[in-house]
């Protein structure tokens, strides 16, 4: 590995660009900014495996399911990517393991969902810009609850707590 100042600076700049890309993607999900989400992925064939949400070979497959599952105004999402371990393989390829804390409020059903998991991502640099070429997400913990009216006040009813929910 080249340890020159120039090579180290190039690696650090690439790591920062990958961090910015992932932040842009997660923020676009929260803001329901579909075009910005789409721009985070490489054009053409990609690998997207989000477990129970679905697997896709093109970014538009993910966009379609996102619009159906989380596109309504009643869905409020919060995606926090953390603990990034980023490896730069060469000038145009990188990979990363990211932790995710996700929280969702459905104001229509009064359901609350929280999950934690990990992304395994691969990136490619095309025309000077880093893009996601492969991403796999696995849930490690989840919690689903619903607000319900009790005799005197709203109560929180736990619907699921554990690994991957079955519904």
Looking at the 3D structure of the chain, how many domains does it have?
A: 1
Domain presence at residue 167 = no
Domain presence at residue 93 = yes
Q: What domain range is 102 assigned to?
A: 5-162
CATH number at residue 50: 3.10.450.50
- The pLDDT assigned to 135 comes to 98
Domain presence at residue 75 = yes
Domain presence at residue 114 = yes
Summarised one tens digit per residue, pLDDT across range 102-151 is 999 999 999 999 999 999 999 999 999 999 999 999 999 999 999 887 66
Domain presence at residue 14 = yes
pLDDT above 60: residue 167: no
Domain presence at residue 59 = yes
HEC string of the chain equals CCCCHHHHHHHHHHHHHHHHHHHHHHHHHHHCCHHHHHHCECCCEEEEECHHHCEEEEHHHHHHHHHHHHCCCCEEEEEEEEEEEEEEEECCEEEEEEEEEEEEEECCCCEEEEEEEEEEEEEEEECCEEEEEEEEEEEEEEEEEEEEECCCCEEEEEEEEECCCCC
Q: What percent of the chain has pLDDT over 90?
A: 78
Summarised one tens digit per residue, pLDDT across range 53-107 is 899 999 999 999 988 887 788 999 999 999 999 999 999 999 999 999 999 999 9
The reported pTM is: 0.90
């Amino acid at each position: 590995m080249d340890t020159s100042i120039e090579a180290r600076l190039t690696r650090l700049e690439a790591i920062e660009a990958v961090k910015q890309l992932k932040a842009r993607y997660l923020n676009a999900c929260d803001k329901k900014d579909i075009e910005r989400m789409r721009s985070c992925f490489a054009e053409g064939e990609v690998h997207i495996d989000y477990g129970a949400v679905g697997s896709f070979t093109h970014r538009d497959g993910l966009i379609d399911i996102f619009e159906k599952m989380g596109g309504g105004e009643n869905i409020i999402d919060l995606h926090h990517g953390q603990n990034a371990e980023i490896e730069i393989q060469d000038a145009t390829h990188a990979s990363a393991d990211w932790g995710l804390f996700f929280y969702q409020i459905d104001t229509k059903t009064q359901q609350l969902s929280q999950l934690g998991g990990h992304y395994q991502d691969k990136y490619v640099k095309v025309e000077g810009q880093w893009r996601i070429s492969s991403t796999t997400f696995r849930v490690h913990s989840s919690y689903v609850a619903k607000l319900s009216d009790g005799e005197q006040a709203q109560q929180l009813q736990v619907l699921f707590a554990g690994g991957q929910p079955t519904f």
